[in-house]
A = this chain, B = another copy of it.
Amino acid sequence: MPDITEIVDSYIAAWNETDPQRRRTLVERTFSADASYLDPLMSGQGVEGIDAMIATAQQQFPGYPFSLAAGPDAHHDRVRFSWSLALDGGEPVARGLDFALIAEDGRLRAVTGFLEGQ
């Protein structure tokens, strides 16, 4: 079973991967089959829905990589971590905090995103 650091690394990698096949592999590695994602702007259901949502988001900020800014901080079946979206060495164009439930197999099953500075 992957630990939560591996899963969150895989989550960030999925948001950064624009090759459809490799992204889909990362999404499957990160999210349980019944996973959901919800933030103020986007939502996705299941592996297919979340993959499609990420593909759409990537078109809005092409070339801006996500990186982990803090965490993961996990207890029981809960985790939070912070991320930023910035060109290398530049000011972030977006920052956020994600909260998720961890499924029994270690993958994420319900993710809520919050945006900083909104």
List chain A positions with a Cβ less than 8 A from chain B.
38-40, 73, 75-76, 78, 80, 97, 99, 112, 114, 118
Closest to A97 in B: B80
**Chain B residues near A73 (CB-CB < 8 A):** 114, 118
> Which residue of B38, B76, B112 contacts A99 across the interface (Cβ within 8 Å)?
B112
- The answer to whether B118 touches A78 (Cβ under 8 A) is no
Copy tally for this chain in the complex stands at 2
Chain A interface SS verdict (over half) = strand
CB distance from A115 to the nearest CB of B (A): 8
Closest to A99 in B: B99
CB distance from A56 to the nearest CB of B (A): 18
